Amino acid sequence: MQHTVDIHEILRQTMIVAVKMGAPSLLASLCAGILVSLFQAVTQVNEATLSFVPKFMAAAAALMLTGSFMYSTLHTYAQTIFDQIIMVGGS
């Protein structure tokens, strides 16, 4: 008996997982960049390298704080995909 898998649902889940993986560090870097830009605009300091360290530290902190969430999301997604592969393979 051949089971079917909904490709549309798999692709939707893949996009949701990709957003969940990338959003924390990207949002933290965005907020740090906006704050540094505001600081540079207020103080009229035009240094291009000033924004690198705060963005890097914000992204690293976001990854440390949300690492377990990202792991559990990716682990659940991988289990779902492998279960569907086994279901379609039919051994």
Res 34: pLDDT? 95
What integer best gives the mean pLDDT of the chain?
Answer: 90
pLDDT tens column, 28-62: 999 999 999 999 989 988 887 888 999 999 999 99
Residue 87 is encoded by which pair of tokens? 């279901």
Of 69, 54, 55, the C-alpha closest to 26 is: 55
The predicted model scores a pTM of: 0.80
- 3-class DSSP state for residue 48? helix
Res 47: pLDDT? 81
In DSSP notation, 47-77 reads -GGGGHHHHHHHHHHHHHHHHHHHHHHHHHH
Instruction: Give the confidence band of 15 by pLDDT, cuts at 50, 70, 90.
Output: very high
